[in-house]
């Protein structure tokens, strides 16, 4: 049996397992049964995406060529992680409190929510990530080829390009499936995190297993192995000091700045306390990952034929030793390293691209009116999915174009230097309040340009993107502009040279420009919040929301976050302010919360722009400016207290006014109640009396007239009876004397029944339903619930004033409740009357045709008895009622059995 075939089968099985794990983790998280998903160990393991295929295979090659130098790649991150109290803690706290979605978002958010910065960072990240993905594809195809060559039968020829293509396509599918389930990039991707945690275990176990096999199996024990190292070509420790220090610093910087590291470290962080475990566990993980690297390299050099690729020793040594099972495990380790890195990197980069490039462009194209345009949520989601596919396709393209040659092997460090350019604005932004946007932009531009000139362009080899003449004599023939020897003779190797110059000039210019330019107010506010995040994780205000229309905000938020989340957010805010319903006062506090929530979906800059469209430009008030200008603590505190007080008073007054208005209205209604009852009773009685007198007193009526008048009497008598029934019903309900008859039933059937009962035919109103959502079992008083449905449905039939009336029935399943929304496409209920429609006899606009105006009051009472509620949901296409009913009647479920 061919080894290659087994390997392919095992790899496919492994991929299936990963899908299953991710799927199960997502399911468990959705059901809220996922405590183990949030363990600090999973977090620590997810950090291991730092160890890509490049480190998995490449470390051994690195060691075979230059001894212990490879270890610097792990030493930098070790220092960063054990120093978590300095930086990681702050990054995670800021990331959580500002709902940061990516490193681009963090930098843009810190520097005044600047989109220019975000776009810039996104582009650098994309440029740095694409070759890195190509590198992973290369490692994978090389390892497959190694298998094919070791295959004794050699009947299968491996097509490298199609292998790479299908691997890339599979990873795109995985990332799209599990990485774009919810729009809120700030929400955790449990499935993905769980899968990469599993992959982290696999790659560690694989590498350790190969190491143990090499040391004890091939080499004959520890002392023998150490002796072998002493005899080898790399016996001397001869790493140049500059590389030793430089690479350690570079890897530390990259660890903080890599988009994929930021994703797992900050965005996916569930709990700050997980850092405590990662602080020791992750260094230990990296230590184990590098433990056997030198032995494998040395034994590989000893045993392999001349010219064997040391990058593949991890794979070829077990194959040579006839350990096919071990070789396959080792392959899975490399496969895990590559896939987990690629998937997370694709998600991280796609979030940036969609939030900072696609969304702003889309908003600009649609005339910048977030309120009026279509479904933002869908656009953002689609943008993210397409970005993932494009990122991976670019990686594949790069792999094909570069021919998978030596140019790729060095790209790991090259892309490290690229993303390390984020370090000055990142660290400066977190620790120095004086850092500002102009400085960050200037520093980044210089660092980026130097990186391109000194490292990235030359990396393609002479005369591919950069002419040989420039490389050898410098641009314009100026020798001090030679890309790999700026300002002097070449004493450093290119990577360290480029790192040194780009990062120091980047830092210098960042600091100098920051010192000599003046930041905008938003930047200063954000700066204070970032730098002093531990002093007040709360927030200083940013919005003055007097003019904002809560309903507009709700409409916009629904488009971005989805109706359910948006309504929950608004209702919670309203409750906090002591107001019922879905429309809170647009206080500065609420607007800041809302902006953060939106930032979690579309990024800080876009969220800021969207809210300012509705609230009206001025995001920073005069008071805020004063507070920033006067950095004396007392004045700031005093003025903010004062401001808080007046705002508090104003809000209380507004609430009082509201309550008062409602009381007056209710008292008027009480008064009107009697005359209403009188009117509703007397009107049918008038017809009955008049026509019965006509029948009695008029001699010569035609038979036709007679029957017509008799049937009027009959109809009016029925109307009277119905009214009395309603009144009785209401009084029984209000006095809680009702007896409920709970039964088991299906929601769908109940809706069918109600549609029939309400007499809704295709001619009167079109009904749109999703029967698959309605398959929900209920245990409640079905008749009563049907009564409520009928009432709401016939209201839609009666009052919907659209030319083509339509009623949409939308079922949302919540934990133990089911919410049934009835949304028509008419003009809805004016905001002023939404508060009173559930009162008795409160008919919209007083005299429109219909019943006595008791229907909704009865519905409200019924729902209260059933342990649910009925509310009006503002901001939909038309009038929208939400019936919220528990799936099982509280307190009755057991009593009835």
Partner 1 sequence: MTDKARPVFVARRTYRQRRMADAARLLPVLGAGLFLVPLLWRSDGASVGEGDAVAASGAGTVEVMLYLFLVWIFLAAAAGLISYRLPAPQDETRRDGQG
Partner 2 sequence: MGKTVLLIEDEQNIIEAVSFILSRDGWDVKIHANGHDAMDAVRTRRPDVVILDVMLPGKSGFDILSEIRADMAFKDLPVMMLSARGQTRDLDMARRAGANRYMTKPFSNAEVLDAVRALVPT
Task: Give the one residue of 306, 535, 762, 772 binding partner 1; rule: CB under 8 A.
Answer: 535
Q: Which does 687 bind (CB under 5 to 8 A by kind): partner 2, partner 1, none?
A: partner 2
249-257, 335-343, 521-529, 676-684 -> range binding partner 2 (CB under 8 A): 676-684
Task: Give the one residue of 60, 75, 150, 837 binding partner 1; rule: CB under 8 A.
Answer: 75
Task: Give the one residue of 641, 646, 675, 761 binding partner 2; rule: CB under 8 A.
Answer: 675
Nearest approach in angstroms of CB 295 to partner 1 is 9
CA angle 417, 200, 397 (to 5 degrees): 50
Q: Which does 848 bind (CB under 5 to 8 A by kind): partner 2, partner 1, none?
A: partner 2
Please, are residues 600 and 669 in contact by the beta-carbon 8 Å criterion? no
Cα–Cα distance for residue pair 246/230, rounded to 1 Å = 26
In the block, which residue shows the tokens 């660290």?
427
Considering the complex, state which of residue 89 and residue 181 has its C-beta at the smaller distance from partner 1. Answer: 89
Please, are residues 404 and 160 in contact by the beta-carbon 8 Å criterion? yes
Nearest approach in angstroms of CB 440 to partner 1 is 25
Cα–Cα distance for residue pair 720/686, rounded to 1 Å = 11
DSSP alpha helix (H) spans, 151-232? 160-179, 190-212, 222-231
- What DSSP line would sit under 377-412, residue for residue? HHHHHHHHHHHHHHHHHHHHHHHHHTTTSHHHHTHH
Q: Which does 226 bind (CB under 5 to 8 A by kind): partner 1, partner 2, none?
A: partner 1
Beta bridge partners of 884: 819, 869
Task: Give the one residue of 8, 79, 386, 685 binding partner 1; rule: CB under 8 A.
Answer: 79
Task: Give the one residue of 27, 682, 714, 770 binding partner 2; rule: CB under 8 A.
Answer: 682
Contact between 3 and partner 1 per CB under 8 A: no
Query: Which residues, 6 or more positions from 891, have their beta carbon under 8 angstroms from its beta carbon?
Result: none
Nearest approach in angstroms of CB 79 to partner 1 is 5
Which run of H or of E encompasses 778? strand 777-780
Contact between 707 and partner 2 per CB under 8 A: no
Task: Give the one residue of 149, 271, 576, 725 binding partner 1; rule: CB under 8 A.
Answer: 271
Nearest approach in angstroms of CB 850 to partner 2 is 11
Considering the complex, state which of residue 33 and residue 848 has its C-beta at the smaller distance from partner 2. Answer: 848
- Residue whose C-alpha is closest to residue 602's, from 561, 558, 541, 571: 561
Q: Which does 238 bind (CB under 5 to 8 A by kind): partner 1, partner 2, none?
A: partner 1
In the block, which residue shows the tokens 């955790």?
188
Please give the size of the binding site for partner 1, defined by CB under 8 A.
Answer: 54
Task: Map the footprint of partner 1 across residues 50-69, applying CB under 8 A.
Answer: 67-68
Nearest approach in angstroms of CB 216 to partner 1 is 17
Query: Would you give the DSSP letter of residue 434?
Result: T
324-332, 429-437, 488-496, 767-775 -> range binding partner 1 (CB under 8 A): 488-496
- Residue whose C-alpha is closest to residue 90's, from 537, 507, 500: 537
Nearest approach in angstroms of CB 525 to partner 1 is 15
Task: Give the one residue of 167, 343, 388, 492 binding partner 1; rule: CB under 8 A.
Answer: 492
Q: Which does 727 bind (CB under 5 to 8 A by kind): partner 2, partner 1, none?
A: none
Contact between 686 and partner 2 per CB under 8 A: yes
Is residue 845 classed as helix, strand or coil in its secondary structure? Answer: coil
Paired tokens of 747: 């929601």
Contact between 683 and partner 2 per CB under 8 A: yes
DSSP alpha helix (H) spans, 562-632? 563-576, 588-602, 604-615, 622-629
- Residue whose C-alpha is closest to residue 591's, from 622, 621, 629: 621
Task: Map the footprint of partner 1 across residues 215-254, applying CB under 8 A.
Answer: 226, 229-230, 232, 234-238, 240-242, 244-245, 248
Residue 880: other Cβ atoms inside 10 A = 22
Which run of H or of E encompasses 789? helix 782-799
Contact between 515 and partner 1 per CB under 8 A: no
Cα–Cα distance for residue pair 157/391, rounded to 1 Å = 28
Q: Which does 691 bind (CB under 5 to 8 A by kind): partner 1, partner 2, none?
A: partner 2
Contact between 721 and partner 2 per CB under 8 A: no
Cα–Cα distance for residue pair 37/677, rounded to 1 Å = 60
Task: Give the one residue of 535, 697, 704, 772 binding partner 2; rule: CB under 8 A.
Answer: 697
Task: Map the footprint of partner 1 across residues 298-337, applying CB under 8 A.
Answer: none
Strand order in the sheet with 806-813: 766-768, 806-813, 817-824, 880-886, 869-872
Please give the size of the binding site for partner 2, defined by CB under 8 A.
Answer: 22
Beta bridge partners of 818: 813, 885
Q: Per-residue x/- mask for partner 1, residues 88 to 107, rule CB under 8 A?
A: -x--xx--------------
Query: Which residues, 6 or more positions from 853, have their beta carbon under 8 angstroms from its beta carbon?
Result: 676, 840, 841, 842, 843
- Residue whose C-alpha is closest to residue 227's, from 299, 145, 327: 299
- What DSSP line would sit under 521-545, residue for residue? HHHHHHHHHHHTTTT-SS-------
286-294, 317-325, 596-604, 768-776 -> range binding partner 1 (CB under 8 A): 286-294
Task: Give the one residue of 14, 255, 582, 691 binding partner 2; rule: CB under 8 A.
Answer: 691
Interface positions with partner 1 (CB under 8 A) = 67-68, 71, 75, 78-86, 89, 92-93, 226, 229-230, 232, 234-238, 240-242, 244-245, 248, 271-273, 275-277, 279-281, 283-284, 287, 291, 294, 491-493, 532, 534-537, 633
Interface positions with partner 2 (CB under 8 A) = 674-675, 678-679, 682-683, 685-691, 693-694, 697-698, 712, 716, 846-848
């Amino acid at each position: 049996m061919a080894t290659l075939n087994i390997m392919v089968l095992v790899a496919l099985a492994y991929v299936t397992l990963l899908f299953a794990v991710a799927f199960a983790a997502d399911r468990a998280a959705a059901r809220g049964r996922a405590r183990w998903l949030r363990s600090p160990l999973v977090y620590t393991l997810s950090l291991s995406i730092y160890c890509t295929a490049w480190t998995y295979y490449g470390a051994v090659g690195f060691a075979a060529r230059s001894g212990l130098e490879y270890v610097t790649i792990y030493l930098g991150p070790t220092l960063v992680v054990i120093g978590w109290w300095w930086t990681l803690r702050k990054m995670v706290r800021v990331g959580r409190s500002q709902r940061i979605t990516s490193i681009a978002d963090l930098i843009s958010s810190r520097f005044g929510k600047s989109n220019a910065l975000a776009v810039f960072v996104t582009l650098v990240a994309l440029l740095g990530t694409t070759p890195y993905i190509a590198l992973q594809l290369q490692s994978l195809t090389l390892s497959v080829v190694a298998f094919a060559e070791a295959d004794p039968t050699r009947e299968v020829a491996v097509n490298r390009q199609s292998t790479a293509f299908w691997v890339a396509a599979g990873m795109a599918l995985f990332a799209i499936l599990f990485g774009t389930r919810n729009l809120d990039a700030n929400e955790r991707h449990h499935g993905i995190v769980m899968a990469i945690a599993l992959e982290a275990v696999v790659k560690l176990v694989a590498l350790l297993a190969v190491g143990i096999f090499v040391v004890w199996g091939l080499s004959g024990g520890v002392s023998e192995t150490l002796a072998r190292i002493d005899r080898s070509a790399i016996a001397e420790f001869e790493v140049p000091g500059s590389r030793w220090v430089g690479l350690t610093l570079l890897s530390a910087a990259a660890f903080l700045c890599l988009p994929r590291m930021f994703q797992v470290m900050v965005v996916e962080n569930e709990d700050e306390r997980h850092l405590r475990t990662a602080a020791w566990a992750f260094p230990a993980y990296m230590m184990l990952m590098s433990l056997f690297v030198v032995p494998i390299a040395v034994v590989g050099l000893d045993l392999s034929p001349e010219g064997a690729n040391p990058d593949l020793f991890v794979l070829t040594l077990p194959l040579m030793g006839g350990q096919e099972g071990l070789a396959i495990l080792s392959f899975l380790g490399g496969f895990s390293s590559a896939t987990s890195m690629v998937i997370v990197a694709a998600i991280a980069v796609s979030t940036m691209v969609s939030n900072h490039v696609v969304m702003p462009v889309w908003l600009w194209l649609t005339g910048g009116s977030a309120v009026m345009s279509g479904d933002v949520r869908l656009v953002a989601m689609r943008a993210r999915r397409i970005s993932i596919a494009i990122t991976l396709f670019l990686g594949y393209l790069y792999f094909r174009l570069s021919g998978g040659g030596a140019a790729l092997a060095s790209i790991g460090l090259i892309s490290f230097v690229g993303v390390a350019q984020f370090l000055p604005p990142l660290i400066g932004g977190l620790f120095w309040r004086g850092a500002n946007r102009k400085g960050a932009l200037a520093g980044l531009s210089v660092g980026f340009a130097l990186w391109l000139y000194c490292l990235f362009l030359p990396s393609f080899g002479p005369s591919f993107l950069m002419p040989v003449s420039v490389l050898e004599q410098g641009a314009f023939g100026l020798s001090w502009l030679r890309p790999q020897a700026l300002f002097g003779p070449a004493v450093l190797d290119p990577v360290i040279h480029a790192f040194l110059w780009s990062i120091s000039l980047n830092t210098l210019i960042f600091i100098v420009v920051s010192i000599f330019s003046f930041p905008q107010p938003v930047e200063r506010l954000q700066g204070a919040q970032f730098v002093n995040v531990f002093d007040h994780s709360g927030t200083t205000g940013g919005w003055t929301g007097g003019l904002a229309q809560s309903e507009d905000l709700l409409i916009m938020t629904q488009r971005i976050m989805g109706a359910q989340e948006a309504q929950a957010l608004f209702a919670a805010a309203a409750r906090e302010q002591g107001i019922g319903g879905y429309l809170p006062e647009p206080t500065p506090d609420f607007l800041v919360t809302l902006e953060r929530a939106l930032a979690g979906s579309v990024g800080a800059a876009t969220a800021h722009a969207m809210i300012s469209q509705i609230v009206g430009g001025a995001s920073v008030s005069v008071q805020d400016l004063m507070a920033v200008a006067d950095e004396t603590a007392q004045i700031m505190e005093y003025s903010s207290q004062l401001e808080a007080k007046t705002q508090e008073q104003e809000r209380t007054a507004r609430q009082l006014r509201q309550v008062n208005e409602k009381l007056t209205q209710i008292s008027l209604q009480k008064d009107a109640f009697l005359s209403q009852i009188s009117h509703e009773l007397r009107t049918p009685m008038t017809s009955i009396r008049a026509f019965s007198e006509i029948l009695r007193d008029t001699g010569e009526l035609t038979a036709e007239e007679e029957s017509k008048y008799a049937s009027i009497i009959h109809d009016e008598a029925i109307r009277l009876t119905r009214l009395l029934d309603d009144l009785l019903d209401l009084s029984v309900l209000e006095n809680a004397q009702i007896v409920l008859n709970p039964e088991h039933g299906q929601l769908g059937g109940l809706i069918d029944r109600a549609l029939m009962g309400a007499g809704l035919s295709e001619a009167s109103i079109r009904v749109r339903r999703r029967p698959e959502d309605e398959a929900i079992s209920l245990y409640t008083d079905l008749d009563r619930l049907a009564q409520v449905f009928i009432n709401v449905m016939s209201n839609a039939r009666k009052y919907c004033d659209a030319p083509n009336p339509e009623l949409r029935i939308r079922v949302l399943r919540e934990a133990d409740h089911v919410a049934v929304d009835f949304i028509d496409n008419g003009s809805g209920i004016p905001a002023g009357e939404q508060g009173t429609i559930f009162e008795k006899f409160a008919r919209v606009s007083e005299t429109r045709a219909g019943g006595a105006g008791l229907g909704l009051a009865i519905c409200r009472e019924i729902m209260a008895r059933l342990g649910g509620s009925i509310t009006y949901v503002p901001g939909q296409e038309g009038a929208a009622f939400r019936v919220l009913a528990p799936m099982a009647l509280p307190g009755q479920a057991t009593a009835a059995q």
